[in-house]
Amino acid sequence: MSLFPQSFIDDVRLTANILQVIQEYVPLRKVGRTYKGLCPFHAEKTPSFHVDPEKGFFHCFGCNAGGDVFKFLERQEKLTFPEAVRLLAQKAGMTLPEAAESSSDESRQDAALREGLLKAHEVAAAYFREQLVAQPGARARQQLADRGVTAPTLEQMGLGYAPPTRDGLRNRLLKQGFSESIMTQSGLIVRRDNGELIDRFRNRLMVPICRDSGAVIAFGGRAMDGDQVPKYLNSPETAIYSKGRTLYGLHLSRAAIRKLGYAVLVEGYFDFAQVFQSNAAPVVASCGTALTTQQAGLLRRFTTRIVLSFDPDAAGQGAAARSSELLVTEGFEVNVVVLDKGEDPDTFIRRNGGTAYRERLRTSQPYLEYLLDQAATGVDLRREQAKRQFLDRMLGVAKLLPDAAMRDQFAEKVAFKAQITDDVVFREFRKLAVKAQRGLAAVDLPSLGELKKAEKDLVWALIHDPEQALAAIAELEEGDIEPLATADVLRVAQTLHDQPLELVPSELLRRLSTMNADLVTSIAAAATPPTPAAECVRALKRLRCEREHSAVRREIDRLQQRGETGAALDALLADMRDIAHRIEQLR
């Protein structure tokens, strides 16, 4: 259920400019009446993402994503519908209706919980900072100094210290009036088996993890002593923190990433600290685990050029390899910087300085070339079997590449490396390309070919000529609609008769499931002049009659085969004549 009155949603939609909203995320170019750009929802090099500002919808011909301005924000920002309405209203400077806030207890509770958790983290961050500069933090300060972290960096990162006491933070939170429920749900305080509440983080150097707005939503705690396990202790997932959707340091680097057009991705907090402090490059940290698609999406809002700067021992394997592969699959331009053995960005910069590191970034190698080199190292490619194995491995890599031009380039390099005649490699890559494309994240829509022309045209008219379409659709009965692939769309359309006409297209998209909205926009994006709506409806009714006709026909055949005569058969024959007559009338 929506939180807001329909009239408010309509106002927001009319005020919001879908073009402006989408342009905040996707650069668009005008082509005729519509706008075109690179799709934010799938990896591509040639634009297949369209925005029709007049009809108020977007559609991607590549992955079939589509919808109105709300659906765009829901997808792009991973919001619920009410959250998308709220965000749009805020962007447009509109005041939220007060009744809306109280109309759903559940969402009010959610909002209150999130608010409480954010406040608890704010208090915790301040507490840890105080502890770091006070007497208990002396050793932590010394460790930071030993690691070459300067005071301004320490301050910008908001570093702190959790003392060894079990109740320091707990008492602070209690004093500030936080409930036990908020304390435990924040993950900052844990309840022991005996019921006692104690601090989760003890004797640790504390690194606050922030949203890109800067609000603290979690902490990473690094052990102070070598025998302390685990070495890194992180906040659990909470209502405000999802590890897979957060990139460390984005709030500090986002402006620089936008400005310089790329980001360096490092593994740890201290790698981040050194790169950030030396001003060598805009940097974010993955914090040890493989990147998720959501994190890649987060990065894409700022740049599609990434330099991976990982431990050389790890670069080709494990989390680092999976991150690289994910970024390549998602269409990022990925380079790899390989430092000397045993070095990470932290130790490298402390030893050689930021300028030397920047030089390494400048000479970083495209990830694919790096992989090629790695795969060819220590292999005698003159041997037929080794060559075959190498080619197989590289085909595995090629499978990840989202577009044909990239695959061709890669094939060329593979061929060169293995001294194979190009043709052979190209042929293998092409074969694979056909397969790979099907594997990409395209939404599974009923293929447009499976739709009856009449239903397709009717759906087209719903967006482009809602008045005619609604009048025609009102004539349809459940029996006409039921077997159609667009049944849900048409049923929703039948509920729209009381809508102002100019809002019908977007209101339809809003009420549909994501999949059906995709289906509708993929039909609406086509420029074909359709059959008039009324005629479509007649065609659909005719189809229903034909279905009924053959059902009756089968029943008659069955009776006649059993040698039956009499009233039942007569009734069926009468039905048949009746249906034939109706079909005739519908022509």
Which chain residues interact with Zn ion by CB under 5 A? Answer: 39, 41-42, 60, 62-63
* Phi, psi dihedral angles at 347 (to 5 degrees): -70, -35
- Whichever of 63 and 454 has its CB closer to Zn ion, that residue is 63
Strand partners, 248: 285
* Sheet order of strands, 283-285 included: 283-285, 263-266, 305-310, 333-338, 365-366
**H helix or E strand, kind and range, residue 250:** helix 250-260
String of DSSP letters for 295-363: HHHHHHTT-SEEEEEE-TTTTTSHHHHHHHHHHHHTT-EEEEEE--TT--HHHHHHHH-HHHHHHHHHT
Please give the structure tokens belonging to residue 158: 């908001």
- Whichever of 41 and 272 has its CB closer to Zn ion, that residue is 41
Question: Which amino acid makes up residue 383?
Answer: R
* Pairwise CA distance, residues 554 & 551, whole Å: 5
Please give the structure tokens belonging to residue 493: 């359309």
82 prior amide bond cis, ω within 30: no
- Whichever of 59 and 204 has its CB closer to Zn ion, that residue is 59
Least separation, in Å, of the C-beta of 64 and Zn ion? Answer: 7
Least separation, in Å, of the C-beta of 187 and Zn ion? Answer: 36
* Pairwise CA distance, residues 197 & 166, whole Å: 9
Least separation, in Å, of the C-beta of 367 and Zn ion? Answer: 23
230 prior amide bond cis, ω within 30: yes
* Phi, psi dihedral angles at 391 (to 5 degrees): -60, -40
- Residues comprising the chain, all counted: 587
* Pairwise CA distance, residues 418 & 428, whole Å: 14
Strand partners, 231: none
Least separation, in Å, of the C-beta of 324 and Zn ion? Answer: 22
- Whichever of 297 and 318 has its CB closer to Zn ion, that residue is 297
Please give the structure tokens belonging to residue 368: 């694919």
- Whichever of 37 and 163 has its CB closer to Zn ion, that residue is 37
In 10 A of CB 11, how many CB atoms? 16
Least separation, in Å, of the C-beta of 372 and Zn ion? Answer: 29
- Whichever of 26 and 372 has its CB closer to Zn ion, that residue is 26
* Pairwise CA distance, residues 458 & 464, whole Å: 10
* Pairwise CA distance, residues 34 & 19, whole Å: 10
Please give the structure tokens belonging to residue 332: 């990022």
- Whichever of 42 and 71 has its CB closer to Zn ion, that residue is 42
* Pairwise CA distance, residues 91 & 99, whole Å: 20
Residues 6+ apart with CB under 8 A from 61: 48, 49, 50, 522, 525
- Whichever of 515 and 569 has its CB closer to Zn ion, that residue is 515
- Whichever of 59 and 251 has its CB closer to Zn ion, that residue is 59
* Pairwise CA distance, residues 218 & 188, whole Å: 9
Least separation, in Å, of the C-beta of 505 and Zn ion? Answer: 20
Least separation, in Å, of the C-beta of 55 and Zn ion? Answer: 18
- Whichever of 18 and 60 has its CB closer to Zn ion, that residue is 60
* Pairwise CA distance, residues 56 & 68, whole Å: 6
Question: Which amino acid makes up residue 414?
Answer: V
Least separation, in Å, of the C-beta of 473 and Zn ion? Answer: 29
Least separation, in Å, of the C-beta of 323 and Zn ion? Answer: 22
Least separation, in Å, of the C-beta of 36 and Zn ion? Answer: 12
- Whichever of 43 and 504 has its CB closer to Zn ion, that residue is 43
Least separation, in Å, of the C-beta of 43 and Zn ion? Answer: 9
* Pairwise CA distance, residues 56 & 43, whole Å: 24
Least separation, in Å, of the C-beta of 520 and Zn ion? Answer: 16
- Whichever of 41 and 332 has its CB closer to Zn ion, that residue is 41
* Phi, psi dihedral angles at 577 (to 5 degrees): -60, -40
Please give the structure tokens belonging to residue 144: 């930071």
Least separation, in Å, of the C-beta of 577 and Zn ion? Answer: 51
- Whichever of 39 and 308 has its CB closer to Zn ion, that residue is 39
Is-contact 86 96, C-beta < 8 A?
Answer: yes
